[in-house]
């Protein structure tokens, strides 16, 4: 296994749901539950899928992802893993063009203080299997159970960061962890 970590971005290394919810509430949307514990914008707001996509697209188009704060545990651990020789690749399904991809890469490097090997930006909510398949067996870190399973199915050592919205029975071939600290403990 290479010393390569493939990782999702939103709610994995950078905070998304709390940050998005705060912004969406300022746009007049109300949430019945905290989005970080629920994940589904449609169910948390009562919005249609079309309204949700339009709102998420606006959030991206207005540049709000360029200001995302880091997940606290990722901010503490990723630089430590990088110093131990790991390189990082981001695979995110949040949409955006080449300028957006460059801005996303710049934000990751600014927050974590090291160069990212690559940042793959897929259409909003797209499957990540093709990008995962492009890399030889590595570490794959996700907060979405289905994406974590996809990574394991193509040979990666998959870690699923436990979140209230992904708590379920144990998933074969995927290691459930509470934080990046648990991942570092296993890798180092």
Question: Average pLDDT, stretch 4-32?
Answer: 94
Residue 124 has pLDDT above 80, yes or no: no
For 64-100, write each residue's pLDDT tens digit: 888 899 999 999 999 999 999 999 999 999 877 787 8
pLDDT at 63: 82
pLDDT at 160: 97
Q: What are phi and psi of 102, to 5 degrees?
A: -65, -40
Question: Average pLDDT, stretch 98-114?
Answer: 91
pLDDT at 152: 97
Prediction pTM value? 0.92
What residues contact residue 131 under an 8 Å CB cut-off, 6+ apart? 91, 120, 122
pLDDT at 1: 52
Q: Are 146 and 113 in contact (CB under 8 A)?
A: no
Give dist(CA 41, CA 64) in Å, integer: 17
Q: Are 10 and 60 in contact (CB under 8 A)?
A: no
3 state DSSP class of 161: strand
Question: CA quadruple 22, 24, 26, 28: dihedral positive or negative?
Answer: negative
Question: Average pLDDT, stretch 145-169?
Answer: 92
In terms of C-beta density within 10 A (0-12 exposed, 13-18 middle, 19 or more buried), how is residue 115 classed?
A: exposed
pLDDT at 97: 78
Question: CA quadruple 53, 60, 97, 81: dihedral positive or negative?
Answer: negative
């Amino acid at each position: 296994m290479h010393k390569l970590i493939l990782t999702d971005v939103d709610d994995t290394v950078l905070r998304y749901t709390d940050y998005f919810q705060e912004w969406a509430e300022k746009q007049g949307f109300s949430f019945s539950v905290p989005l970080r514990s629920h994940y589904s914008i449609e169910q948390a707001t009562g919005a249609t899928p079309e309204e949700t996509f339009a709102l998420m697209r606006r959030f991206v188009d207005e540049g709000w992802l360029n200001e995302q704060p880091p997940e606290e545990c990722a901010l503490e651990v990723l630089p430590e893993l990088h110093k131990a020789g790991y390189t990082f690749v981001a695979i995110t399904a949040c949409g955006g063009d080449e300028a957006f991809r460059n801005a996303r890469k710049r934000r990751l490097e600014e927050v974590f203080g090291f160069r990212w090997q690559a940042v793959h930006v897929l259409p909003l909510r797209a499957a990540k299997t093709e990008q995962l398949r492009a890399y030889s067996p590595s570490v794959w870190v996700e907060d979405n159970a289905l994406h974590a399973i996809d990574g394991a199915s193509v040979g990666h050592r998959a870690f699923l960061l436990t979140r209230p919205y992904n708590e379920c029975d144990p998933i074969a071939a995927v290691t459930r962890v509470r934080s990046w600290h648990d991942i570092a403990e296993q890798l180092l």
